[in-house]
Amino acid sequence: MDIRLTKLEALIPTLATREDLLKTKVEMREDLLNTRGQLELSIQKLETTMRREMTKQTWTIVKWITGLLATLLPSLIAATFYIARHVH
């Protein structure tokens, strides 16, 4: 029994007190808030970048479609007039 009691008494100084736990809790909360702020900032940067790239891609598609229509419509109109006048 004395040996077990001696082991327990030796262990007691290494145990955390309420103050230690409160300090740890405060530190963890601060770390969590810092991490949350960093994540929110990273997400905002990512959203901004994605929005910019999507807008750029949209305008590229609009330019291509406009170019194709500007090229194909006159050709189709010309082909229609040719067929209407020369093919009976």
Which tokens sit at 56? 């750029």
Domain that holds residue 54: 2-86
pTM: 0.57
- Structural domains in the chain (count): 1
pLDDT (tens digit per residue) in 19-55: 889 999 999 999 999 999 999 999 999 999 999 999 9
Q: To the nearest whole percent, how much of the chain has pLDDT over 70?
A: 99
- Please tell me the distance from the alpha carbon of residue 59 to that of residue 3, in angstroms, as a whole number: 80
Identify the band that residue 71 occupies on the pLDDT scale cut at 50, 70 and 90. very high
Is 90 exceeded by the pLDDT of residue 64? yes
- Please tell me the distance from the alpha carbon of residue 41 to that of residue 22, in angstroms, as a whole number: 29
The pLDDT assigned to 53 comes to 97
Nearest 5°: the CA angle 82, 84, 87 is 85
Is 90 exceeded by the pLDDT of residue 63? yes
